[in-house]
Structure 1
């Protein structure tokens, strides 16, 4: 579509130009073209909301496109009922608005959703729902981004904007590994994004694949509903108490890092952890060679903060199993040669970015994993008005840092371009 090919960048803030663009009509066979003078944000999760709020605080308009029918769709539609934030609420606040004081230290899923909805209302963020971005590409001819979205009935809309903020995040698509015999298994196989409660698995033998925070918590939930869970541990993992010495483990770590090097803090955390929960190796949970903070810093792999699962493993209520070799009819063969019968398999194998599937840009984002190529804290800004929020592998704390930086940078550009247009407009006047 060439409706804007002849437009010069200096017209971007011209009121007459904007009015003409809003009235632009195109043949029905072509996408509807919408010019937006500010920032376009893809994704209405916590990252997108944070970016929109910070931009609004700086006086920069934005529009948010969301493929689902609600904000924070991952939290509302794809998380299990017993989920709580794994970190204390003070480390999970979005910019410019804290949590209500009456919320739990570790807010529930519903409390966090309520917080996000209140956040959107406070900053008057009104995403355009049911719009899936299928393509975004920078048009160097006019100096703008062209973003194509597809609505519920397949109707396409092309947005033309100066700044594009990618806020689809690290958890856009569920990851389900391909295992030999999956079609043969015959039982229930699902990802944790489709798991709500252990109630429907009461009395059943369930194999949970993945020993991160989600896998551990799903196992605990299954135990609490009288299911018979087993946990596949395919790799080494750091399991730490959620709280140490009367403080949250995360908060204690952040405080210690102000005074001590990371390697020493890791040693202290592991010593206290060993005193509190013992040697996890005895239960099939081998620790990595790198300490938990060093590992997180280098690879983004988060340590497990135990909320009661380890006690169930120690008591034998949760069985630890090695990697899967293949699936059979209602059975699983493990790499150690043993075979066990199971009624269901739940993959707690995480999520991945989907940015390469729609963003036609290869300098900022890696095609391999869909993350910014530049490591934290420098991955938030690309070229030609492209930004990323929520790809730091540092949770909501990293999201807030990104959103604040992005808003400040776009505000600076916004002011410069507005000033340039003002002087151009004045000099062009008779």
Structure 2
């Protein structure tokens, strides 16, 4: 089967770029390994809301309804994506997992678990949080309690009255720790390897992610001192509650490590009330004990690993020279590499101004670029 333009992924990025392509007169085939539009969002933990406000999160060609509120919940995000697909007449082909991309002359050969496709243009939109990563801690097999990745967490109910270690202080780990503390867990410890920059959700009436839009282009030495002042003024000195200080400012840390700041949606209150206790990084298990990097140990009933994801692209495109050592694309949006003409990536970064906002910008740029190339060919 041949298609001129193949979009891999039917999440926000894939739907947005397909809709923009359609508006530019370019039809596309969308394939996705899932079962339906919005399923990924629908299956996430109940507490989850977008960290970007509604007005900053809509995709091209459809506003988010006011009834969703300022901070859109995960169920409403799933509804929005389903409505977006209907509005733009997008009908992805599901249960189709792309396994490998290869270049053959002027076309791409796309190997999937449902057969082989060829395409002149391929747009990879498989998501920033694609493949969960759980460290293989020494002694893990001896730990009698559950060890789950944060992607499998839904509510705090199964952990009521239990001692839980949440590993990772990024946005997901921080929010799960707060959820557990607010909903009956007996003890919640937050294991921290890389100290995060914790920032408020808003500064007065202004969402923090709106203020972050210019930070993606401004130098870190200029904006990070201001960020430090705001963090201290609005959240106080969190080292008093055991949270180690970030080693670099918000922008410097994001550019050096790819780690975005942790937006406070309950963690700071839980730290102040001592319902969440930061501890050193988890290093190994010895029976029911979790042994930490500073040599201390705690008995735990369960461990939730908010330890991130990979893009899952190494087996798909790692042989093409288009990924960095972490498996992330070397270029994104409308840009292509000379060794991979017609191959683009969208929605695989997590910028300070918000992933959905970046998707909106990139979808339009990608569609214009692809449409121009299609006309020239």
> Do these two structures clear the TM 0.5 threshold for a shared fold by scoring above it?
yes
Q: 1:270-321: per-residue Cα shift (whole Å, max 9, x none)?
A: 2122122211222232333432123223432111111121111121111111
Match of 2:315 in 1: 357
CA radius of gyration, larger in: 1
Please tell me whether residue 416 in structure 1 is matched to residue 376 in structure 2. Answer: yes
Equivalents in 1 of 2:334, 2:24: separation in Å? Answer: 21
**Map 1:23-422 → 2, pairs under 5 A:** 34-36=1-3, 38-77=4-43, 79-140=44-105, 143-150=106-113, 156-227=114-185, 228-254=187-213, 262-359=220-317, 361-366=319-324, 368-374=325-331, 383-394=340-351, 395-417=355-377
Q: Which moved more, 1:247-256 or 1:392-401?
A: 247-256
Equivalents in 2 of 1:343, 1:398: separation in Å? Answer: 40
RMSD over aligned Cα, in angstroms?
2.0
Equivalents in 2 of 1:256, 1:370: separation in Å? Answer: 25
Equivalents in 2 of 1:413, 1:276: separation in Å? Answer: 49
Equivalent residue of 1:359, what SS?
A: helix
Equivalents in 1 of 2:328, 2:193: separation in Å? Answer: 24
Q: Is the 8 A contact 1:372 1:380 kept in 2?
A: no
Q: Which moved more, 1:179-188 or 1:288-297?
A: 288-297
Q: How many residues align?
A: 372
Q: Is the 8 A contact 2:167 2:192 kept in 1?
A: yes
TM norm structure 2:
0.93
Deviation at 1:354, TM superposition (A): 1.1
Q: 1:202-246: per-residue Cα shift (whole Å, max 9, x none)?
A: 111111000001001001111122102111011121111111132
Equivalents in 2 of 1:290, 1:339: separation in Å? Answer: 28
Equivalents in 1 of 2:190, 2:260: separation in Å? Answer: 18
TM norm structure 1:
0.82
Higher relative contact order (CA 8 A, sep 6+): 2
Equivalent residue of 2:69, what SS?
A: coil
4+ long deviations beyond 6 Å: 255-258
